[in-house]
């Protein structure tokens, strides 16, 4: 799941690091280039060179991931995201809202709004957790992800509402 990966990748989840007396990560020459790039805040909790090295490796890994995604392009990233949908149990919640909205089928627009609301709420929680765990994650990336998921959720909810109105999910068509 994304949560386990995000928490597991955190550079600070290593209890075997012993704090080094007098060690100040912001003065460590190994951290200086990364501090100059704007990641200084990420080094503040570090109390040992080993933790600082892990923070640097996490930053490098995240930047490498971003570069891979940037070169892959929109459709490959979308395909990868869709492929991973079933691996995250949080993705089942909007599906239940979609089916519920489809079965009520009062309004296609309302069904879309209901799913968009739920998806945006779930994504906001996910982004808050990811933002706290990923050093290079920006607020703009999180906002784009939340907005994109709300738009996608609206489309899926409206589709569910339309299917509900047509009776596809109930097994009978309704006359409008």
Rounded to whole angstroms, how far apart are CA atoms 34 and 26? 10
How many CA atoms does the CB half-sphere of 58 hold within 13 Å? 24
pLDDT digits (tens, 9 = 90+) for 102-125: 666 578 888 888 888 888 998 899
Rounded to whole angstroms, how far apart are CA atoms 108 and 162? 6
In sign, the C-alpha dihedral spanning 40, 41, 47, 50 is: negative
pLDDT digits (tens, 9 = 90+) for 2-12: 444 444 445 55
Question: What DSSP letter does each residue of 68-86 carry, written as one string?
Answer: HHHHH-HHHHHHHHHHHGG
């Amino acid at each position: 799941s994304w949560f386990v990966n995000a928490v597991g990748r955190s550079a600070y989840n290593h209890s075997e690091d012993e704090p080094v007396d007098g060690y100040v990560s912001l003065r460590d020459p190994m951290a200086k280039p990364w501090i100059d790039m704007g990641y200084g805040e990420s080094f503040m909790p570090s109390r040992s060179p080993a933790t600082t090295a892990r923070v640097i490796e996490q930053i490098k890994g995240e930047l490498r991931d971003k570069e891979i995604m940037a070169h892959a392009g929109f459709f490959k990233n979308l395909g990868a995201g869709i492929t991973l949908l079933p691996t995250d149990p949080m993705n089942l919640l909007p599906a239940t809202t979609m089916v519920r909205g489809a079965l009520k089928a009062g309004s296609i627009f309302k069904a879309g709004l209901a799913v968009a609301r739920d998806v945006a709420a779930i994504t906001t929680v996910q982004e808050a957790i990811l933002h706290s765990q990923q050093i290079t994650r920006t607020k703009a990336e999180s906002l784009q992800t939340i907005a994109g998921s709300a738009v996608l959720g609206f489309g899926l909810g409206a589709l569910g509402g339309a299917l509900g109105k047509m009776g596809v999910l109930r097994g009978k068509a309704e006359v409008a």
